[in-house]
Chains A and B, each alone.
Chain A
Amino acid sequence: GAVVSQHPSWVICKSGTSVKIECRSLDFQATTMFWYRQFPKQSLMLMATSNEGSKATYEQGVEKDKFLINHASLTLSTLTVTSAHPEDSSFYICSARDGTSGIVGNEQYFGPGTRLTVT
């Protein structure tokens, strides 16, 4: 149980185009989803927290107009990188919290990640 998928697993796009990454909880309802960014050989940096049906909360320094997050259902959140540039190239990982498990543990289940390369 508690499986989170991401699509695509990797994407190459040209500078100036937009890319959408999907994050799905396959066997549970995710009231909260998180988006992280990870640079090579570094830790995960939280970009934003999204709750189903409401606007995402972005961490300081993350451009909300560049990284559009939508959490329209209890099983799907999307991250759209708008007008992507080479510096946006990174590994993007989503995670989801099971809304029915209560607050014990605050456990997050992670997706496999999406490798974005902007040329």
Chain B
Amino acid sequence: AQSVTQLDSQVPVFEEAPVELRCNYSSSVSVYLFWYVQYPNQGLQLLLKYLSGSTLVKGINGFEAEFNKSQTSFHLRKPSVHISDTAEYFCAVTLNSGYSTLTFGKGTMLLVSP
């Protein structure tokens, strides 16, 4: 079975500073990887996904992530954050063969202050 680890439960950062949210996964087979954002009392919105090909994936709102197979990581980055980026971020993984369910990490709360 696959698993996802988000080591940081909370990441405080100042506005316009860069940020990296860490995600590591464990799986015995190949996977697809996702980052979702959740604003308070809302559902999840897909930021970006890695299926195959280029290991650097660009998503919405200026976010990008890099798939590193050797380190089994899929860290999310943004070069300059805004107050509006304050939200919960979830990394998720699913098997890349057939239909399978999503396995989520515990989430990282990004707190952007002025």
Contacts and interface: CB of A to CB of B under 8 A. Distances in A.
B99 A108 contact: no
Contacts of B51: 104-105
Contacts of B107: 42-43
Interface in A13-49: 32, 34, 41-44, 46, 49
A74 interface: no
Interface in B86-114: 90, 94-96, 98-102, 104-107, 109
Given A32-B99, A110-B44, 15 more contacts: A34-B102, A43-B107, A44-B90, A95-B44, A97-B99, A103-B98, A105-B32, A105-B49, A106-B32, A106-B95, A106-B102, A107-B46, A110-B36, A110-B45, A113-B42
Interface in B21-36: 32, 34, 36
B22 to A, nearest CB: 15
Contact of B105 (A4, A43, A46): A43
Contact of B43 (A42, A46, A103, A110): A110
Interface residues of B, number: 25
Interface of A: 4, 6, 32, 34, 41-44, 46, 49, 91, 93, 95, 97, 103-113, 115
Given A42-B107, A43-B107, A44-B90, A106 B100 contact: yes
27 contacts: A4-B43, A6-B43, A32-B99, A41-B109, A42-B106, A42-B107, A43-B104, A43-B106, A43-B107, A44-B44, A44-B90, A46-B101, A46-B102, A95-B44, A105-B32, A105-B51, A106-B32, A106-B95, A106-B96, A107-B34, A110-B36, A110-B43, A110-B44, A110-B45, A112-B43, A113-B42, A115-B41
B47 to A, nearest CB: 12
Contacts of A46: 101-102
B32 A113 contact: no
Contacts of A111: 43
